[in-house]
Amino acid sequence: MQRRDYHALRCLSGVAPITKRSGKSKIVLLRQAAHVRLRNAVYYWARTAVHHDPRSRAKYAALRARGHGHGRALRSVGDRLITIGGAMLESGTLFNPNLPAKISYPRP
């Protein structure tokens, strides 16, 4: 069985941002070094989830209301979906949209 690495999957799919710090400045950028097909798959997965899943739609709307762009909001929704997918693989369960959101992975 292959090891499922949440942080590596975030980086490969392009949802993990890059933070550059120098002195007093801090810049958060889109990760350019990502697997193109995986990035596209997560983008379309998140876009479809925003249309069909109420929780994803609410997260997207909240991010847009805070001033995030369309792509940034979809990457956040995609990050949430990757988290859910990893939890489903670990527990061996199917997706149930009625379950409460109690999934947490350690953030770097």
Long-range contacts of 50-58 (CB under 8 A, 24+ apart): 50/74, 50/77, 53/97, 54/97, 55/97, 55/101, 56/80, 56/81
Q: What is the pLDDT of residues 12-26, one digit of tens each?
A: 888 877 788 888 888
Instruction: Report pTM.
Output: 0.77
Query: Where along the chain do its domains lie?
Result: 6-91
Q: Please write the tens of the pLDDT for every residue from 69-106.
A: 998 899 899 988 888 888 787 778 887 777 766 655 44
Residues 6+ apart with CB under 8 A from 33: none
pLDDT score, position 97: 74
| Six token digits for residue 45 | 């997965």
